[in-house]
Structure 1
Amino acid sequence: MELIKIDKGLRKAVTAAITETWGSSIIITRGKIHNTDELDGYVAMEKDSLIGIITYYIYNLECEVISLDSFKENRGVGTSLLNTVINDAKVNNCRRIFLITTNDNTSAMRFYQKRGFDFAAMYHNAIEKSRELKPQIPQNGFEGIPIKHEIEFELVLK
């Protein structure tokens, strides 16, 4: 597996993969629109195949992970991508790295907690506002769980 910083040459493939996975290249967190076409990130490649993507941005000494997708589960793809962004956040003197997931994504909750992230906040019924900005967000998610809330996880770096 090789991790490569997203550049213009990779952008089209990244956008296509994110659109297929997320319903569009737009991701909403806390009522904010993130266009993944414009975000920093990394891809994981294996034999010319895209097996993972992470996008993020850094502002005010904080790093927000916007998306993390592993297309080869249980092989360390997500962990490798996340660790690379954690290193970028440290190099940029970020005080924390954080992300938002939805209440239905129990596998993400397990994944982040196993990697040292902690619950930071829960935003009750936040997905209602997100659906106004991105109608493609389904009513039900993993295992038929209604998607209603945003849950923030953080890893304090300093």
Structure 2
Amino acid sequence: MEIRFIEPEEKEKIKALFVREWKSDVMISREKKHQIEDLETIIALENEKIEGILTFHTMGNQAEIVSLDSFDEGKGIGTTLLDFTLNHFKSMKLDRIWLITSNDNCHAMRFYKKRGWKMVNIHFNAIEEARKIKPEIPLVGYDGIPILHEIEFEYSL
């Protein structure tokens, strides 16, 4: 598997993939609107096929992971992307690495906790505010759980 930053000419392909998979090229976290094409993007490729994507942005001495997606669960793609990205962050000597997931995404919460991430905050009813920016966010998510809150995780390098 090849893990690498995307090339500038691949941005449109990544944007189209987000629109196909998630019906939007916008991500929201902490009431901030992220256009996918403006984010740093790392991909996992196998036989020239994109198997996973991680997007992030840096602000001063911290970085936010905006999205992490594996298109073939259980193969270690998400872990490999995350490890690659954390090594990149270590080389940058960043002070804070964080991310947001929604309260219905129990799979993501388990994934991050198992890898040493700490839950540091629950932003109650933050998804209601996010829907004002991105109305496509569904009311109900995984396992029939209402999507209401943002869960903030942090990783110590």
What's the offset of the Cα at 1:60? 2.2
Unpaired runs of at least 5, structure 2: none
Fraction of identical pairs, as percent: 43
> Which position in structure 2 is the counterpart of 1:77?
77
Tell me the distance in 1 between the aligned counterparts of 2:13 and 2:52. Answer: 11
User: Could you tell me whether the CA contact under 8 Å between 1:58 and 1:89 is conserved in 2?
Assistant: no
> Which position in structure 2 is the counterpart of 1:67?
67
Unpaired runs of at least 5, structure 1: none
> Which position in structure 2 is the counterpart of 1:26?
26
Letter in 1 for 2:68: L
Letter in 2 for 1:70: S
What's the offset of the Cα at 1:69? 0.5
Tell me the distance in 1 between the aligned counterparts of 2:39 and 2:64. Answer: 11
Tell me the distance in 2 between the aligned counterparts of 1:74 and 1:91. Answer: 28
Specify the SS of the correspondent of 1:135: coil
What's the offset of the Cα at 1:101? 0.1
TM-score by structure 2 length?
Answer: 0.97
Specify the SS of the correspondent of 2:18: helix
TM-score by structure 1 length?
Answer: 0.96
> Which position in structure 2 is the counterpart of 1:111?
111
> Which position in structure 1 is the counterpart of 2:139?
139
Specify the SS of the correspondent of 1:9: helix
> Which position in structure 2 is the counterpart of 1:6?
6
User: Could you tell me whether the CA contact under 8 Å between 1:5 and 1:43 is conserved in 2?
Assistant: yes
Tell me the distance in 1 between the aligned counterparts of 2:113 and 2:19. Answer: 27
> Which position in structure 2 is the counterpart of 1:150?
150
Tell me the distance in 1 between the aligned counterparts of 2:98 and 2:134. Answer: 22
Tell me the distance in 1 between the aligned counterparts of 2:24 and 2:147. Answer: 17
Tell me the distance in 1 between the aligned counterparts of 2:65 and 2:20. Answer: 19
> Which position in structure 2 is the counterpart of 1:16?
16
Specify the SS of the correspondent of 1:13: helix
- RMSD value over aligned CA atoms? 0.9
User: Could you tell me whether the CA contact under 8 Å between 1:97 and 1:156 is conserved in 2?
Assistant: yes
Tell me the distance in 2 between the aligned counterparts of 1:109 and 1:11. Answer: 28
Letter in 2 for 1:124: F
What's the offset of the Cα at 1:48? 1.3
Q: Work out the number of aligned pairs and report it.
A: 157
What's the offset of the Cα at 1:29? 0.2
Specify the SS of the correspondent of 1:28: strand
Tell me the distance in 2 between the aligned counterparts of 1:7 and 1:68. Answer: 18
> Which position in structure 2 is the counterpart of 1:36?
36
Encode CA deviations 1:45-67: one digit per residue, 9 max, x unaligned.
11111100000011121110001
Encode CA deviations 1:97-127: one digit per residue, 9 max, x unaligned.
1100000000000000111101010000000
Encode CA deviations 1:3-26: one digit per residue, 9 max, x unaligned.
121122221221112222332111
